[in-house]
Amino acid sequence: MNRLISRLLWLIVACVGGLLSLSPAFSQNFYSGKTITLYAGYPPGGGVDSEMRLVAQFYGKHLPGNPDITPMNMPGASGVVLANYLYNISKPDGLTIGMARNAFVLAAITGDKSAKYDLSKFNYIGSSGTDNQILWLRKGINIRSLDELRKVKQPIVIGGLASTSATIVVPMILAKYEGLSLRTVPGYPGTNEATLALERGEIDGIFTPATSFRPDLISSGAIVPIVQVSPIQPDVPTIDSVITSEQERALMHLALAPDGLGAPLLGPPGMPDEATRILRSAYTAMVNTAEYRAAASTRGFDVSKPPQSGEALQRFVTANLTAVSPDTIEEYMSIIGTK
């Protein structure tokens, strides 16, 4: 009996030692000769796609073994399709990661049945910061300020992505609580498509970051900033400064909560801890290089904001995106027409 117990103890120690030895091996050799597939949850041409391709350009240089990075697009429901894929289908082996924004977060918070995932269980890798969301109007409608917009009676058509994305929800909140004559049209697959509609005059405006546009649209004055989230654009009021009720403030906090994540890079649940650590470390190293920052600045991304670590994103999700007032959610659902 003593011999049997000793043998069992030896086997347990051997197994534990074997498992522990996997971590250094993963760190040193796993990515050598491998290819990481990096998805954007939006079509080509928009801000998320542009940032995803920027990451794909530099990320492999900072990972051990210098793996290839293959950029791909998996559009659908403003990131919900990609989030479902990462959560339920992709292998948690550290070789499939993705980048999304906004609607994939709100869909999960508000109980959207199409969102088949738990936000807190993704492996968050990092985010280069948040973009300043702005309500832009095309020059041709001759509205140059929020004060002028308040006086308009005819509907101003605002195009956007999914009905649960900030591109649609924020204008709807402003319309209901501030009396702005805004009519929202959701359903554009990406910001690029909405921008083309804006240029053609099919819609009058869009709520989106400046990085979503071609720089010439802004520099030429073809689009005009009306109201913004952060006080970055000079002489443009912030949404916070125009809010007139606590109910509206709570709704805006919910609609804009995903902005605290920026466009996060995330992996599926169940990835090995060592894979998550390596991916996070490489991402942080990459976004702090002069090479990456110069390329990001050239593409119009705001490099003045510090990048967010995967650990910080994980904490943000737990603290801000898992406990929203039922009354706020009910009002939010009423606004988007799914009550």
DSSP 175-244: HHHH---EEEE---SSHHHHHHHHHHTS-SEEEEEGGGS-HHHHHTTSEEEEEESSTTSTT--BHHHH--
* Class for the domain spanning 27-130+262-335: alpha beta
Q: Among 36-50, 181-195, 315-329, where is mean pLDDT lowest?
A: 315-329
| 26 closest CA partner among 268, 279, 267 | 279
Task: Say yes or no: do domains 27-130+262-335 and 133-257 share a fold.
Answer: yes
Mean pLDDT of the chain: 88
Compute the average pLDDT of residues 51-62: 96
- Closest Cα partner for 269 from 124, 67, 110? 124
R_g (Cα) of the chain, nearest Å: 22
- Is a pLDDT exceeding 50 seen at residue 180? yes
Q: What are phi and psi of 219, to 5 degrees?
A: -65, -30
CATH for 133-257 is 3.40.190.10
| Pairwise CA distance, residues 65 & 40, whole Å | 24
Q: What is the pLDDT of residues 94-144, one digit of tens each?
A: 999 999 987 798 888 888 889 999 999 999 999 986 678 999 999 999 999
- In angstroms, the CA 131 to CA 118 distance is 24
Q: Give the per-residue SS3 of 106-131.
A: HHHHCCCCCCCCCHHHCEEEEECCCC
In what side-by-side order are the strands of the sheet with 133-138?
182-185, 156-159, 205-209, 133-138, 223-228
Which 3 state secondary structure label does DSSP give 174? helix
Q: What is the DSSP letter of 20?
A: H
pLDDT at 8: 45
Cα first-last separation, the chain: 67
Dig out the tokens for 51 from the structure: 């940032």
Is the pLDDT at 62 greater than 80? The verdict is yes
Average pLDDT over residues 18-45: 75
Q: Which string of DSSP letters, residue by residue, matches 29-96?
A: HTTTT-EEEEEESS-TTSHHHHHHHHHHHHGGGGSTT--EEEEEE--SGGGHHHHHHHHHTS-SSSSE
Report the pLDDT value the prediction gives residue 235, as an integer from 0 to 100.
94
Separation CA 226–CA 79 (nearest Å): 27
pLDDT at 17 over 50: no
What residue type is assigned to position 339 of the chain? K
CA distance 167 to 158: 8
Using 50, 70 and 90 to split pLDDT, how confident is the model at 261? confident
Report the distance separating Cα 56 and Cα 34, nearest Å: 14
List residues bridging with 26 in a β-sheet.
Answer: none
pLDDT at 28: 60
- The reported pTM is 0.74
Residue 156, beta-bridge partner list: 182
pLDDT at position 210 is: 82
The full set of domain ranges for the chain reads 27-130+262-335, 133-257
Q: Which long-range contacts (CB under 8 A, 24 or more apart) does 172-175 make?
A: 172/335, 172/336, 173/248, 173/251, 173/252, 173/255, 173/335, 174/135, 174/227, 174/239, 174/242
pLDDT in tens, 82-91: 999 999 999 9
